Structure 1
Amino acid sequence: MSESTYTAGSPTPVLSVSPVVLPAPGRAVDLEVRVSAPVTGSDLPVILLSHGQGYSNHLSSLNGYAPLAGFWAAHGFVVIQPTHLSSRTLSLDPDHPEAPLYWRSRAEDMKHILDRLDAIEAAVPQLLGRLDPSRVAVAGHSMGGHTASLLLGARLTDPHDGTEVNLAEPRIKAGVLLAAPGRGGDALTAFTAENYSFFSTTDFSGMTTPTLVVAGDKDTSAHLTVRGAEWHTDPYFLSPSPKSLLTLFDAEHGLGGISGYDVAETTDENPERVSAVQWLTWAYLRSELYPGDSAWQAACDTLTAGPGPLGRVESR
């Protein structure tokens, strides 16, 4: 399945600026973001992209996920990528109460970005007046998928004080969860329940924002869950509609290599699969943010056309 199989128009040259530094009082360090945008166009929709974790030092930062950020920007989105406090690039105090994954701070980073879109425009003069703040989406891979799910309406109980946490962000109109964590409870390994206890109470019943869940059918994530690959489909099956699920055949946690080009920890490197993720996520967000846009239906039809499809889509 080549890029030319889909229809999204010709890619536009991309402007990428980093770091854009947003002062963040009370945060361990100021918030640094990368901003990628097409060099032309106005009233541009925005995608907030939350990085995952991993073995590499810099993929978990504003310097990761170039295959997604570059593609989305070349096809009409402004992509904003924060370096969360969980990033290896920051080397923060491991004894911080939220360390090492900083689940709450990650979601707060995204809210802070939305609060300061004017500052981002001012820091990147080529963007001034070109953003459409009424059309905002969030996307996240792995731990970034957990961050995105909280912004889309998923809830959990804070393991430190027992309070229910609601970080839903009404300014976000659609989302994409890429290999995101599923439910807690008996789905978790003992290691996860002990070391990442915030996963234990994840509840998707309030995740009402339209969302595309992307899962690999070989993504067992055995260090996190005892349920195998189906765990990553929980955000689809355990949340209210409208939702869509893209299941990628033979895909593992890297979904073919979305976190970066030629990444050693990608166990299922497959450029064709990455191309499918690029196009289908782009098409989904186009159609959600612009009602009546046919990109999503066209991409779904193309995915299943011909012999040997790369995956399947279901919706409810």
Structure 2
Amino acid sequence: MPGSSPTVSVKPVVLPAPERGEDLQVRVSAPLFGTGLPVLLFSHGYGWSLDGYAPLADHWAAHGFVVLQPTHLDSRTLGVPAEDPRTPRIWRLRIEDAVRVLDSLDVLVAAVPGLAGRVDASRIAVAGHSWGAQTVGTLLGARVLTDPDEDFTDPRVRAGVLLAAAGLGDDLTPFAAEQLPFMRPSFTTMTPPVLVVAGDHDQSHLSTRGPDWFTDPYVHSPAPKALLTVFGAEHSLGGIVGHEAAETTDESPERVALIQHVTTAFLRGALGFEGEEWAGDPGELGKLETK
């Protein structure tokens, strides 16, 4: 794994999206040095924006990734009301946002001084947290069972990381089943290499099951997959959403550092950087499984 590098970040890079009702704003972060840089598209959790998840985005950029962070329509920064006619379709619009970002890679790269010519567009990965994990999971081949024949798979995406991703929809609470009908994923067609990260204290109010719900993307998908279970971690996994963020109920720099290391190494290995061993022992902080 390469050492840490100084980074540069440009925001917002605005992508026109008239049919969306709001132009798409994207943050682009990259190392100042290096060539053949892989691309990592990150989808935020509910309510967040391109300004969130600095502990991960900054680390990934410092270790060789061009990190692309769109702001989805559910962001608190946009203030889209619940009665907005787009609200029932935001899960689809999130997927369209992700595809638009990949379609606009040249534009996004050109917005960062000195980045053109240093990016390897054949090495693209995705990552997401919570709702964002469901969003990018569809690009990796997961289906949404409200329409199981609809395939959002993007062949440009070679690997992914799903952080606190919702599990199967069989055990949703009555509220979730009524209000969030799109939370019915299937992972049987998610074939690329994926690292699933789950906290063993993450008790969702959307599921009647326990923290094992968040391991479903690993359990119910075909190999090759990996599962990092982070001991003591709740939904923010120690604080990946931001330093001292209000949502962080389990703040732990050690857990965040573990996730930084394992996700970076996994993605570099999955994208074909030779000679980089990623599978290590997380020690007392967690457990790592592969299949």
Tell me if both proteins adopt one fold, taking TM over 0.5 as the criterion.
Answer: yes
What is the total number of aligned residue pairs between the two structures?
A: 291
Pairing 1:313–2:282 present: no
CA contact (8 A) 2:2 2:64 kept: no
Residue 43 of structure 1 deviates from its aligned partner by: 1.3
> Where does 1:74-89 land on structure 2 (aligned, <5 Å)?
74-89=62-77
TM-score, scaled to structure 2 = 0.96
Provide the secondary structure at the position in 1 that maps to 2:25: strand
- Show the counterpart of 1:145: 133
CA contact (8 A) 2:9 2:112 kept: no
| C-alpha distance in 2 between matches for 1:19 and 1:92 | 19
Residue 18 of structure 1 deviates from its aligned partner by: 0.2
- Show the counterpart of 2:22: 29
CA contact (8 A) 1:86 1:100 kept: no
Residue 53 of structure 1 deviates from its aligned partner by: 1.5
Residue 94 of structure 1 deviates from its aligned partner by: 2.6
Residue 293 of structure 1 deviates from its aligned partner by: 3.2
Residue 149 of structure 1 deviates from its aligned partner by: 1.0
Provide the secondary structure at the position in 2 that maps to 1:113: helix
- Runs (5+) with no aligned partner, structure 1: 1-7, 55-59
Provide the secondary structure at the position in 1 that maps to 2:110: helix
Pairing 1:136–2:124 present: yes
- Show the counterpart of 1:203: 186
> Where does 1:1-316 land on structure 2 (aligned, <5 Å)?
8-54=1-47, 60-99=48-87, 102-158=90-146, 164-185=149-170, 187-199=171-183, 201-221=184-204, 223-297=205-279, 300-301=280-281, 303-304=282-283, 309-316=284-291
Residue 152 of structure 1 aligns to which amino acid in structure 2?
A: L
Residue 99 of structure 1 deviates from its aligned partner by: 1.2
| C-alpha distance in 2 between matches for 1:149 and 1:9 | 27
| C-alpha distance in 1 between matches for 2:85 and 2:148 | 16
Residue 312 of structure 1 deviates from its aligned partner by: 0.7
CA contact (8 A) 2:238 2:255 kept: yes
Residue 122 of structure 1 deviates from its aligned partner by: 2.1
| C-alpha distance in 2 between matches for 1:97 and 1:164 | 25
| C-alpha distance in 2 between matches for 1:94 and 1:165 | 26
TM-score, scaled to structure 1 = 0.89
Residue 10 of structure 1 deviates from its aligned partner by: 3.1
The percent identity for this pair of structures is 56
- Can you list the C-alpha shifts for 1:214-257, whole angstroms capped at 9, x where unaligned? 00000011x11011100000000011111000001111101000
| C-alpha distance in 1 between matches for 2:155 and 2:242 | 30
Residue 295 of structure 1 deviates from its aligned partner by: 3.0
Provide the secondary structure at the position in 1 that maps to 2:157: coil
- Runs (5+) with no aligned partner, structure 2: none
Residue 100 of structure 1 deviates from its aligned partner by: 6.2
| C-alpha distance in 2 between matches for 1:193 and 1:22 | 34
- Can you list the C-alpha shifts for 1:150-175, whole angstroms capped at 9, x where unaligned? 111111134xxx57321111100000
CA contact (8 A) 1:214 1:248 kept: yes
| C-alpha distance in 2 between matches for 1:62 and 1:114 | 16
The RMSD of aligned alpha carbons is 1.5
Runs of 4+ residues over 3 Å off in structure 1 = none
Residue 278 of structure 1 aligns to which amino acid in structure 2?
A: Q
